[in-house]
Chain A
């Protein structure tokens, strides 16, 4: 189930690390763990990480993915960085609302909106 291949597309825009998911579904624990570890490595390597995670390609996720996002958010916060989420499908956004995670994350309609909101 685990794969050493990256499941992420990572670019730099205006000193912001932009992360996109390659998979349409972020479901199983081992895949989620690999993604979490990879993003965690990016945060570890930055002094004050500025990160944007785009869900443009994502159709489905589970609570394991939400848990990974929270871990990422806590890491970024611990390094006094900034994390923003964008391009979330309405059905997935509803999951964020149900779990009240809309209050924990800065969520934007689009990548451009999110990039403009960074300090």
Chain B
């Protein structure tokens, strides 16, 4: 994943509590706003972060409900980098069906990863599939 001039990485463990998730979300978005990222950029970052955290708890920790996930992030003038890591056995991103195919349109789930890939500039999983790293580059940077 490309280097975007980061300097201060923040790491936090999150339990499946809405207040903890919102605190982390607010911290990331406040830092992004402080660097001048627009409302549209913050919408994209928030959506991707919410989807990544939901996937980590819902899928990664389906059998580990009391375990925290690990969130790391860095915000620079040019980009926002976020990593979300769960303690599950991982998954294969390639195996997730395309939710935009006609036969999948009326299925109620399976859109989170696709939205992350659409809204973020770069997305990658580790080999085990339990850690997602994503980068949002400032448009035009």
Contacts and interface: CB of A to CB of B under 8 A. Distances in A.
Interface string B43-81: 100110011001000100000000000000000000000
B46 A95 contact: no
Given A29-B54, A99-B99, A60 B46 contact: yes
A91 interface: yes
B91 to A, nearest CB: 16
A71 B47 CA distance: 21
A74 interface: yes
B123 interface: no
Contacts of A35: none
Contact of A62 (B18, B50, B105): B50
Q: How large is the interface on A (under 10, 10 to 19, 20 to 34, 35 or more residues)?
A: 20 to 34
B109 interface: yes
A63 B55 CA distance: 10
A100 B100 contact: yes
Contacts of B51: 62-63
A62 B48 CA distance: 9
B107 A62 contact: no
A73 B114 CA distance: 21
Contact of A67 (B21, B111, B114): B111
Interface in A30-54: 30-31
Interface in A72-119: 73-74, 91, 95, 98-101, 103-104
B107 A95 contact: no
